[in-house]
């Protein structure tokens, strides 16, 4: 041997037992609570996925019968799922699985843009779209929203901004992006209208649908955009991390280009996407996810009912476009803020009071405003949350 | 609303029931078999991880108490685990969690190299190192191995090749990489010697330890390299996908640079690493993984016993450096190939005969040569595998 075993062991550091002990018996303490955190609502596993979890939890379980391309595995039926079911579900010509929505956005930016190119995005974009752009050294131009209280994106501004970019840089932005809906206000811009504008200028459009795909109907074909990304752990009842990238034919050859030397491996995928359990949960949950998307109207009704009731409390107001178009909503809660100013726990009072009532998901310390989601709650749970809010405003 | 619900639903495609039915009741069919596939041996969950799985399977479960940086989460103790336990375990100044070893290699290449730069790697590199380089438009120079039957990397060649690159390109390679061990032969080059050479030339070195970290002791401090990557699903008893990146201080500021506008987000991480269950399994398995690494010598003994026994069969020979230094080994099996030439099932006979004996993990169709791993098998299981090989060579 090059290195003797003795030498290897000699250089192994001792880890204090106390550090190891902290890793024993890890329990999630949030079970049984009503969790208002928008990132937690759409990723709750279906019973079907939960049932599959233990069978597939080991490392590369999904790769038992792989011939070299994860997405072409026949057993379990990944090939069929990715190339038929998912393409149909989101109206895409091609689908790829990624490690998340942000990784999918980066893939597209990296493939379609060169460093120094311009990316045009909406002011309501997720921070990870900005970071992906920064990683690839893109210049970011932003479509502003209309500010308080709607924070609405005016679709027409995409034309104005493209014109401005052309004037300033002598060329088109390399890519445009719209967040559909955004993760702060749940505003749903007319992505189809934006796609039409972008298409007229020959600018490819990426739709960040991390809060849409798996919750509400989305169709790349209907939107007539070039790319759409979704998030399994955010909105498709999956264990993280897993994302979905849908592509229309237009630029798919650029994003899905194969390696020069490894003929069955795609470069932007680094050869293979998410290797493991999250994909099994995506597949196992899918029939229920497909079904729940058909009941999106009920989720909207529920969200509107919640907002209507909660706005009856003086000093609570939903920001963003009204009536709400999504389960994710942003509340301005002046009444809680007023209480916090006098309360001995300050802003933390709200977290504590909610928790007392079995409700979590509002970040500890927040009281002035926060976002929440009503997705997947039953009617009586919604009522319980409304009741809790009504009680808490009584606190002196 | 911008888009009416009716219009959304109208554009939702119908998915045939038969496609949905294929996703119901997904079962892994390989349970109970002795699985020789090297990618499957080190990722089998510990009972401790298995116990944690259902509690943490939902989407973003790990992010219940996140303040904006996944790796700084206090509950569960991610912060402590990443910044104290893992750094200690692999002798690194910094550790980051990634979506896999390949994603970690790409991160380093992307941060440290510019497109057009030269990457120097060993001929035994994993394909994903090549694809990562291709994604970032690097020129790849390769250290050859010494060919059949050892396929050994001569460490001294790193100096020769750096000299050659300097002559040809007028500058140093931007990064060097060594695969430790490689995934075909399980050869363990002297990474420390290579690090010394690279350091003398001022070339940063990345150690791909996807088959080492979590199986055998590794220490970045001892190797004196700049980066080391590991794979949770390959070698650390984790659900995929998750990887580990260890960094020495040297170039950590480049790889871990923060976003200009999002002060707590790292650009190469796209803000956050693996958001979900795999990280819980990494933490829950860790005490056992730490313990098993201390018994690496037993794994070597077992692998050598297996090879000794299997080589008693005429027409079976271990390729790669001898005696073997790793649980992953490559067998040349002329005897199976001879059988396949007359067998009505051709090369597939081996897969079928092994499966009859409750053994899987050799790719269907292979008979001339294949790799396997003895990692984690009990002594009687090893004997069963040896017995099976001895029986199968008797087939006419």
What pLDDT does B277 receive? 96
What pLDDT does A10 receive? 82
| The architecture CATH gives domain A295-392 | Alpha-Beta Complex (3.90)
Burial of A163 per CB tally in 10 Å (0-12, 13-18, 19+): exposed
pLDDT-based confidence at residue B1 (cuts at 50, 70, 90): very low
What pLDDT does A1 receive? 45
Q: How far is B380 from chain A (nearest CA, A)?
A: 22
Q: Tell me which chain A residues have a C-beta less than 8 angstroms from the C-beta of B276.
A: 233, 239-241, 278
- CB pair distance less than 8 Å for B134 and A75: no
What pLDDT does B74 receive? 95
A56: pLDDT strictly greater than 90: yes
The predicted-structure confidence for A319-343, as pLDDT tens digits, reads as follows 999 999 999 999 999 999 999 999 9
Please give the backbone phi and psi of residue B59, each rounded to the nearest 5 degrees, phi first.
Answer: 5, -105
B8: pLDDT strictly greater than 90: no
- CB pair distance less than 8 Å for A39 and B217: no
Please give the backbone phi and psi of residue A34, each rounded to the nearest 5 degrees, phi first.
Answer: -85, 115
Q: How far apart are the first and last CA of chain A?
A: 73
The predicted-structure confidence for B107-128, as pLDDT tens digits, reads as follows 999 999 999 999 999 999 999 9
- CB pair distance less than 8 Å for A57 and B50: yes
**Calpha distance A373→A334 (Å, rounded):** 19
Decide: B126 and B210 in contact? Cβ < 8 Å.
yes
Decide: B158 and B298 in contact? Cβ < 8 Å.
no
Q: What is the DSSP string of B145-189?
A: B--TTT--B-TTHHHHHHHHHHHHHSS--SEEEEESS-TTT----
Mean pLDDT of B18-47: 96
Please give the backbone phi and psi of residue A102, each rounded to the nearest 5 degrees, phi first.
Answer: -65, -40
What pLDDT does B3 receive? 56
Instruction: Tell me the β-bridge partners of B243.
Output: B98, B231
Residue B39, token pair as written in the block: 């990618």
Residue with tokens 């003895």, as numbered in its chain: B374
Q: Edge-to-edge strand order for the sheet containing B328-333?
A: B316-319, B328-333, B369-373
Burial of A383 per CB tally in 10 Å (0-12, 13-18, 19+): middle
Burial of A355 per CB tally in 10 Å (0-12, 13-18, 19+): middle
- CB pair distance less than 8 Å for A130 and B262: yes
Q: Tell me which chain B residues have a C-beta less than 8 angstroms from the C-beta of A6.
A: none
pLDDT-based confidence at residue B72 (cuts at 50, 70, 90): very high
Q: Is B83 left (phi over 0), alpha (psi -120 to 50) or beta?
A: alpha
Instruction: Tell me the β-bridge partners of A228.
Output: A207, A246
Decide: B235 and B210 in contact? Cβ < 8 Å.
yes
CA dist B293 to B85, B183, B191, B217, Å? 14, 19, 18, 6
The predicted-structure confidence for A346-377, as pLDDT tens digits, reads as follows 999 999 999 999 999 999 999 999 999 999 99
**What is the share, in percent, of chain B residues with pLDDT greater than 70?**
99
What pLDDT does A11 receive? 83
- CB pair distance less than 8 Å for B127 and A271: yes
The predicted-structure confidence for B219-255, as pLDDT tens digits, reads as follows 999 999 999 999 999 999 999 999 999 999 999 999 9
| Mean confidence (pLDDT) of chain B | 96
Domain map (residue ranges) of chain B = 47-292, 295-392
Q: Tell me which chain A residues have a C-beta less than 8 angstroms from the C-beta of B132.
A: 270
What pLDDT does B390 receive? 98
Q: Tell me which chain A residues have a C-beta less than 8 angstroms from the C-beta of B99.
A: 99-100, 103, 241, 274
Q: Is A184 left (phi over 0), alpha (psi -120 to 50) or beta?
A: alpha
What pLDDT does A3 receive? 56
CATH for A47-292 (1.10.260.40, 3.30.1490.20, 3.40.640.10, 3.30.1360.30): 3.40.640.10
The predicted-structure confidence for A188-209, as pLDDT tens digits, reads as follows 999 999 999 999 999 999 999 9
A116: pLDDT strictly greater than 90: yes
The alpha-helical segments, DSSP class H, found in B86-156 are 87-90, 101-112, 127-135
What pLDDT does B43 receive? 98
Give, to the nearest 10 degrees, the angle between helix B379-392 and helix B348-356.
Answer: 130
Distance of CA A201 to the CA centre of its chain: 28
Which helix (H) or strand (E) element contains residue B300? helix B296-310
ipTM comes to 0.97
- CB pair distance less than 8 Å for A276 and B28: no
Instruction: Tell me the β-bridge partners of B208.
Output: B179, B229
Instruction: Tell me the β-bridge partners of B96.
Output: B245
| Mean confidence (pLDDT) of chain A | 96
**Calpha distance B78→B280 (Å, rounded):** 9
Residue B261, token pair as written in the block: 């506008």
């Amino acid at each position: 041997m090059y290195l003797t075993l003795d030498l290897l062991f000699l250089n192994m550091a001792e880890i204090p037992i106390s550090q190891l002990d902290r890793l024993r018996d890890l329990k999630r303490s949030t079970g049984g609570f009503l969790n208002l955190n928008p990132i937690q609502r759409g990723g709750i596993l279906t019973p079907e996925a939960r049932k599959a979890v233990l069978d597939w939890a080991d490392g590369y379980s999904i790769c038992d019968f792989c011939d070299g391309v994860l997405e072409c595995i026949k057993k379990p039926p990944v090939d069929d799922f990715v190339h038929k079911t998912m393409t149909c579900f989101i109206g895409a010509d091609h689908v790829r699985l990624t490690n998340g929505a942000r990784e999918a956005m980066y893939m597209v930016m990296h493939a379609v843009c060169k460093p120094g190119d311009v990316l045009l995005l909406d002011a309501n974009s997720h921070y990870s779209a900005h970071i992906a752009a920064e990683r690839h050294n893109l210049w970011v131009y932003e479509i502003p929203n209309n500010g308080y209280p709607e924070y609405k994106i005016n679709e027409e501004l995409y034309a104005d901004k493209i014109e401005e970019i052309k004037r300033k840089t002598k060329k088109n932005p390399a890519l445009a992006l719209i967040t559909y809906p955004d993760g702060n206000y749940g505003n749903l811009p007319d992505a189809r209208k934006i796609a039409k504008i972008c298409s007229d200028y020959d600018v490819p459009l990426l739709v960040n649908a991390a809060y849409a795909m798996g919750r509400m109907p989305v169709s790349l074909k209907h939107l007539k955009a070039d790319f759409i990304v979704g998030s399994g752990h955010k909105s498709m009842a999956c264990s993280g991390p897993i994302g979905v990238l849908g592509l229309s034919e237009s630029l798919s050859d650029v994003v899905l280009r194969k390696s020069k030397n490894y003929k069955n491996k795609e470069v932007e995928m680094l050869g293979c996407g998410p290797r493991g359990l999250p994909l099994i949960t995506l597949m196992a949950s899918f029939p229920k996810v497909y079904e729940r998307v058909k009941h999106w109207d009920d989720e909207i009704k529920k969200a509107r009912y919640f907002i209507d009731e909660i706005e009856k409390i003086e000093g609570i107001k939903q920001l963003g476009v009204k009536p709400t178009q999504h389960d994710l909503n942003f509340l301005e809660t002046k009444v809680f803020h007023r209480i916090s100013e006098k309360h001995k726990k300050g802003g933390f009072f709200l977290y504590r009071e909610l928790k007392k009532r079995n409700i979590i998901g509002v970040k500890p310390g927040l009281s002035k405003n926060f976002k929440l989601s009503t997705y997947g709650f039953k009617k009586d749970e919604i009522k319980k949350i409304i009741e809790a809010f009504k009680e808490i405003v009584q606190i002196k």
